[in-house]
Chains A and B, each alone.
Chain A
């Protein structure tokens, strides 16, 4: 059965800290791995990773994929209170015509001032 496992499930840090969120997966017909940030309801897209070893970066956030070891990490440097959210990792397979997303349970990040 396809599965995506995120760790830790929750994390409390102080502003300015650097955090690393982990995502491991066992998915047949892997297509890509996506990270989303969920603050209220709608997950908002952060990154899509398809190739191993190529870091994607956006401001203080960065992410990398290891297709050999089947995991990805999401790094957030110099955290701010606005980074408090649930971070979802999802793997897209070749199901359907556009691929299906299989989500992990998420990591709840709380950034204290």
Chain B
């Protein structure tokens, strides 16, 4: 079963705009991670935020985590056509070592 739910399922924006994707989860976590997947390829790790952190930045990426609401968001600023991909959140559960993925947000950035 999947632990995370993401919204929106699909997002279409113009180059230069910001893209925000949200992730909600159900059980306590050690950390939450965001991954990107281009069509037909494996997933690539983007950023990891620990349960005691509230915000983290990496380049044009900004991730927030609200453990009281069991939710996270990924913001991509100044999007580029090359950002077109599917984005997944994944939760590292407090009990056990497995990483559980959400259903993903399909982002399309139009040039």
Are A and B co-members of a single complex? Answer: no
A interface residues, Cβ below 8 angstroms from B: none
Chain B residues near A (Cβ < 8 Å): none
